Structure 1
Amino acid sequence: MLFFLFKTGTILLYKLIIYNVMEKTLMILNRKKDQNNTNSTTDKQSLMLRMVTSYSIFLLVILILFLYLYQSTFRNVQQQYDFQQQSTMVSNVELFEKDLRIMDVYCRQLLQNTFFRKLIAFHDSDNEDFMDMGNALATTLSTDVYPEALLPIEEVYCYLPNTGYVLSPNYFISAERYYSWMKRYANSEYENWLKALSEESNYYQFLPMDNVAPNFSKNYYMYMVNMDDLYYMDANAVVCFVLEKEELSSLFTTLSSDNFDTDFIVAVNEDNVPFMSLLSNPDFSMDRILNLHYTDNFSHVRGALTIGRYTSQLTGYTYYYSFPAFSSTSGTITKQVLYIMCFVIAFLLGISLIIRFSRRNVAPIIELGQELNEAVEAQNHLLEAVNSQRPIICKSYVRKLLTGLTSSEEEASYIKEYLNLIGDPLYYNCLYIVAYNNAGDSGENTQQIRSSDDFNQVITNALQNFLGSPLYYFNPDSRTYALLLACTKEDEANLIIKTNETIVQLHNYLLDTYGIWLFAGIGRNTDSLTNVWESYQQAVESISYTSKNYFFFPYEFIKKDSNAFYYPPELSTKLIHFITTGNTSQVLELFNLIHQENIEERSLPINLLKFLLSDIRNTLLKARFALPSGISAEVTAQLDEQFNEHATFKLCEDIALTLCKLFAVESEDTNLVTAIEKYIEKNFMDPSMGLNKISDEFQISESYFSHMFKEKTGVNFSTYLENIRMSEAARMIKETDISLNELYISVGYNNANTFRRAFKKIYGVTPSSMRENKADK
C-alpha cells in the first residue's frame, strides 16, 4: 500500500511539474514577442524559484503524509490484532467459568441426596450401615455420566474426613487403599496429599499433582470444593475434581501448541490471590505478571510476547494471558526497513527531480510534443479497446431485441442507431440455427473439429461468408445461433426464399467440409424492430419441425393444429415483462399475436379457448400481485372485480392494459433520467462523479447513458454536473463564510485552478471577486 501511495504521489508530482513547466513556458514564449531578452531572463529565474519552493513544500507534505499513514495503519492493525486475541480469551473464559459452575452444581446435587448426607455424618467406619450405604451410593454414582460428559475431567471423588474414606463413581474405599492400590501414587507424598485435601487454603484452586504422580505420562491438577460451604448444616466432605493439564489447557485457545513453553495463563480471584496457573515460561513469574504496566488491558513487553488482562464481569476473576506479539506474527520489521528505504529514496528522488525539472524549464516544447504523442497514443488505445468490445455490445443489443427486453421505444431507437440499421424503411426477421457436429455422416476428406471454440469459430466464419457482414447474432445456447435479418421493402417479399437458398448452400458447405449438420427455422417478416421478438419466437418454434430432409423450415409452413392452443411459456414471460415495464404497445402487439395464432389461424374449440383464457388470466394474476404498494385500495378492488367476471379475450386484454397503465403511472416518478438527476444533485460533491460512476450505479452503458441524458435534458452530462456545482459554489460564497481553499473541495473539484476557470466561465468573475463584491454590498 505504501509503495502504491509513493508511486502515485511521485507520478502526480511528475505530471504537475510537467504541466506547470509547459504552461509557464508557453506563457513566456508568448511574452517574447513584446519583451526583450532581459525581461525573459528575469521571468525564467522567478519561475525557477517559485517552482523549487512550491514543489519542495509539496514533496514535504507528501512525505509527512506517508509517515503518518504508515504509523496510523500500523497502530490500527496492532489494536485490531490485540482486540481479536482478547475476544478469543473472553470466549474461553466464559467456557471455563461455565465448567466451574457445573462443578458447583454437581456438588450441590450430591448434597441433595439423603444417603450422601447420612454417609458424611458417620464417624465409625466399622459400622455395617456405613459400608452398605457407601457401596450403594458408589453404585448409584457410577450410572451418572453427567460430570464426565460435561466437564474436561479425568475423574471425580469425594473425601470423607470423619471416616478417612473416598467415595467415587466406581468404588467406596479407604483413602490409603485408594491412594496406594487404586491410583498407585507416590507413597512418600501420601501425607501431603491428605494435607492438601484437608486445608481450606487449597480449596477452589487448581493444585498441580506433579509430586503425587511423578511417573505418570500426563500432568494433572486437583480442584477441590468444600461441601461445608454449600450447605447450611455441617457437611464435612471435600469433592475433588482431577483434570488433565492438556485438557484444561485446551479450554484456552490462546495457548498455542506451537508455543506451549512460552505461552501462559494465570488467573487470580477478587482478592488478587492466584487460583490457577498454566505457566511454563521461565522468564515470567507471578509477581512480574501482576506488576506489569497495562494500557487498555495490554502490556507490550519486549520480545515476542504480548500480555493481556481480562476481568470477568460474572465472577470478578482476573485472567492474565500471553500471545505472540503482533510484530512477531506479521513480519513488520522487514516492512519497516522497506518503508524507511522507500522514504529515503522518495525524498532524495523528489529533491533531484525538483532541481532537474526546474533547471530544464527552458525546454518545454519537447515535453509538450511527448505529451501530445502520449495523448494520441492513449486515444488510439482507447479506440482499439472500444472496437474490441463492440462485438460483445452488439450481441447484447441483439439479444435484447430478439427476446423482447427493450424497455422503451427510445432504447430501441438507440440500439437501431448503434447497429447502423438506419436509412430506408427496413423489414426484419429472425433466423434460428442449430448445428450438430455429426462425424458419422462426414466423408473421408472432412476436417475434424476437436473443441467447442473451434466449432463456434467455424460456424461464425461460415455465417459471415454466406450471409455477409455485419452479422447481428447471439447464442441462446451451445451450438445455437439467433440471427437478426434486415432488408429493404423491395427485398421483403423474397427474404425467406433468398435465406432458404443461402442456408442450403451453407448446409452443404459445412457438411462436406466439416461434417456439420445445420438446421434452421425462420419466422415472419415485421416492419417494427421492437416487434422482432415475435419472429424470434416463431423461428424457435419452426426449428422443432426440421428434419434430415427439411433442414430449413419457415414458420409459415407449420400446419396449425386446432387440438392445441398456442401460448408457450416464453409468451407468458414476455407478457409479464411488458406489463411491468408499462410498455402498452408491446402488450397490444402480443395480444394480437395470441389472437391471430389461436382464433384466426387455429379456430380453437370452446373447451381449448377456455383453457387458453385461463392460462392468460393466471399470467395476469402474477402481474396483479406484482403491483407496487403505492396503488390505492379502490383501484385494486376494481381490478380484482374484473378478474371475477366471465373470462373473454377482450376482458383479458383490458385487464392487461389496465395493469400496464398502473405500472406506467407508478414508474413516472422513478423515471431513469429523473433518478439519475436526483442522484447527481445528492452526490455532485463527489470528485469521482463521472460517466463511469453513473454507468456502474444504474447498470447501463456509458454510451447509452450519455445519449439518453443529452436527449432528455438538452445538455451534456458534464455541462449539467458543472452547472450544479457552480450554482452550489455561488450559493456558498453568498450565504456562508467558507474559505476559498475549502470551497472547491466542497463542490467536488480536486484542483483549485480548474475550479476557478470553470467558475469564471459561468459567472464572468473569479470566486474571490464575487466574495469581495458581497463584502462591498
Structure 2
Amino acid sequence: MLKYSKVFRRFLISYIVILIIPSIGGYMSYRTSIAVTESISIENSVIQLQKSQEILERRIAEVEGLTRQLAVNPELNVLLNERGRETNVYGIWRTMRNVLTFGQTNDFLQDYYIYLANYDLVLTPGSSYRPEHYYEIFHYNDLPQAEWKKQVLEKTHRSEIRPLSAFVSKGAQTSVITYMQSLPLDSFNDSSPAVVVVIIDEKIIASLLSGLTERYGGWVHISDAAGKTIVLQGKDEPYMNKLNTDSSFDKGKVSQFYRDDLVITTRSDTNGWVYQAGIPRSILLENANRIKYMSWLITGGALFLGLLAGLVLAYRNSAPINRMLSVMKEQFGKEETAEQSEFDFLSGNIANMITKNKLLESELHRQLPLVRDAFIKRLTAGEFESREEIVSAAAQADIGLNQGTGYAGIIQINGYSGMDSVEILNELNAARLLVKQALAALIGPLPMADMGSDKMVCLFFSGSGESAADQEVAVTHIMENLAQLVLKEYRISVQAGFGGYFASVTEVSGSFEQAKQALEYAVYMNKKGITWNHEARIKNSTYYYPLDTEQRLMSTLRAGELAEATRIIDAIFAQNLGERELSIEMKHQLIGEMKGTFLKLLDQKTFMESPLFESAKRRIIDISSTEPLDHIQAGFHAIMEGLCGYITNKKKDAHTQIIKQIYQYTEEMYSDSELTLYRVAEHVERPEKYISQLFKEVTGVNYSDHLVKVRMDQAAILLKDSRYTVDEIAARVGYNSSHSFRRAFKRLTGISPSTYRQSYAE
C-alpha cells in the first residue's frame, strides 16, 4: 500500500472534493426546488384556469352561434313574418322538430326557448307554452311574471347575459345565468318579433372549473364586466366583496398571495369577464416539502456510498498507473530522453492524423451549405420523384426532416423592391445573413435557402407529437419575435408568407407555392408581419392544379409509388373542393383536366404496351364530373392501383431479367481473375451500387459470396479430375494466388482442396 500511497492519495482527494460539491449544493438545491415547485404550481394553475376560460368562452360562442343559425332558418323566418292569420300549427310543429334540436351537442344549450311575439307563444325543445303557463314551471325568484315579460320577452336584446340569479325549474331551486338575443339579428326597435333565451345552470359552468376546486380544494369566482357574479364555488359573496375592495389586493396581477391563498386572476378579451381562482398555500408547498425530505435522504446516502466507492476506485485506478510507470521505467530506463522520443513519435503521428482530419472536416463543412441550398431549392421546386429520394438527399445535406410534416414559408426583406445596384445587392447580402443569424439564435439551425436577392425560403418541420395547429401558433410567435428583433437591432423590416400544412415531404412544393401566394397577397394588401395562406384565401373563381403538381403525380405513377400518388390526389381534392369554393363549371373543368393527366400518362410508351391500356382508358373516360366527389375520388384511386400494380410487376420482371443476366455472365466469366461487381454492372448497364442492392434483395446473398460459390463449385468438379494440380485449378477458377484459393475453398466446404480430392478418390 505504501508503494501506491502517493497516487492513491491524489485519487482519493479528488473523489472527496467531487463528493463535497453535492453536499454544498444540497441546501441550495433544496431552496431552489421550493421556489421552482411553487412557480410550476402557479404556472400550472394559471394554465388550467386559462384553459377553463377558453372552454367556457367557446361554449358561450356556440350559444351565440345558435342565434345566428336561428336567424337564417327559413321555417322560423316564416313564423316571424306571419301577421293577421290563424295560428300556423304545422309551421310551429316543423320549427320545434327541426330548429329546437340544435342543443344536443352543447350542454349549455340543454335548456332554451324561443318567444314568438306575433303568436305570444314560447317554444321549447319539448313543447310549446303560453308565457303565463311557462312562468308557472320556470321562473326567476326575483322577477314577477309581468316584469319577466317586460325585461326578457318584450325587450330587444343584443347578445345580453343576465347575471347569476335564483331560478325555479320544475319546482327545483337552482341558480342560472341567462343569454338573450332578439331575432332578427338587426332588430333596433324596442320590441322584436322573437327572442331566443338560453338558460345556463351554474352547475354546468362550475363543472368546467371543477379541476381547481376538487384537485386543490380551492375556490373559483367568475364575474361579468360590471362586477356581477356569474359563478361562485368554494367561497361566499362577502368574502369576494372584501377581496375585491381590499387595497392590498392588486387586481392587475395574474397571480399573487392573499392571506393563505394564491389568487389567480385573468380577464377575458371577448366579453370582459373576470376569472379568479384561489388555491391554498399549503397545497402548493406540499410537493416542496416532499422534495426536501427526498433531497436530504438521497444526498446523505450518496455521500456515504460515494465515500466507499471513492476508496475502492482510488485504489483500483492508482494500481494500474503505478504498474504502467514501473514497466515504462524498466523498458526505457529512468532517463526522460527515451520517454520524450516515444512521446514525440506518438504525438507527431497523432497530430498529423488530427490535422488531416480537420482539413477534411473543414472542406466538408465548406461544401455543406451549397449542398443544403441545392436540396432545399429542389425540394420546394418539387423536383424529387419519391419520398425515398428526398430522405436520401436530406441525409446527404445533413438536414433533419423529423416527422416529414410542417410548413414552408418565404421571408422578404422590405424596402428594396426594384433596386439592383451593386451597393444594394451587397447590402441585401448582409441583411439576409443578419436575418438568418437572428432566426438561428431564436430557434436554432433551420433549413433555409436564398430566393432572389431579397427573399429567403425556410422550412419548419414538426417535432414529435406536435399538431399542425400548435406548430402554426409556434411559427407565428417565432416570426413575430424575429421581426421585432431584426427591426430593433439592425433596422431591417421583414414580412413573411406561409403556405398550408404539408403532411409529407413530397408536398413541400405545394406549401411553398401557397407561401408565394400568401406573400404576394401581403405585399399587395401592404400587410405587415406574417401572412398565412388561409388568411389570404378568398373565393376562388378557378381551381388549383399547377403544372408541377401534375408532373409530380405523373412521375409518381410512372415510378409505381401508389401511396404517394394517393396522397397527391387526395391533396388535390382537399385543396380544390375542401378549401375552395368552386363553381360547378370549374369543378367540371378540374375533373376534366385530371382525366386529361391520366390520359396523357396512358399515351406514354410504358403504358401503351401494357394489356390494361384499353380498360384503363375506358375507365378514365367513364368518370363523370356529375358523380358524387367520393365516387370520382374512388375511381381515380382504382385506376392508380391498376397502373401502379402494373409498374410494380414490370419492375419485378425487369429485376428478374437483370439477375438472370448476372448469373449467365458470372457462369461465363468466373475464370477471369479481374471479374468484379463493377465489371458486372458495366455489362448489364446499371450503376454498381444499384446492382449490389438489387442482387442482395432478390437473392439474399452478396454478389461476392455468389461469385466465390460459383468458383468453388467449378473447382470441386476439377478436383475430381486428377489431370490438374491445385495450383492449376486455382488459376482456372479465377484465383491468382493458390493460397487464397485454398483458404476460400476451406472456408466454404470446411476441408482443404487436397483433402477433398483424396476423399473423392477413396
**TM-score range for the pair, normalised by the shorter chain length:** 0.3 to 0.5
TM-score, normalisation: structure 1: 0.41
Of the two, which has the highest radius of gyration? 1
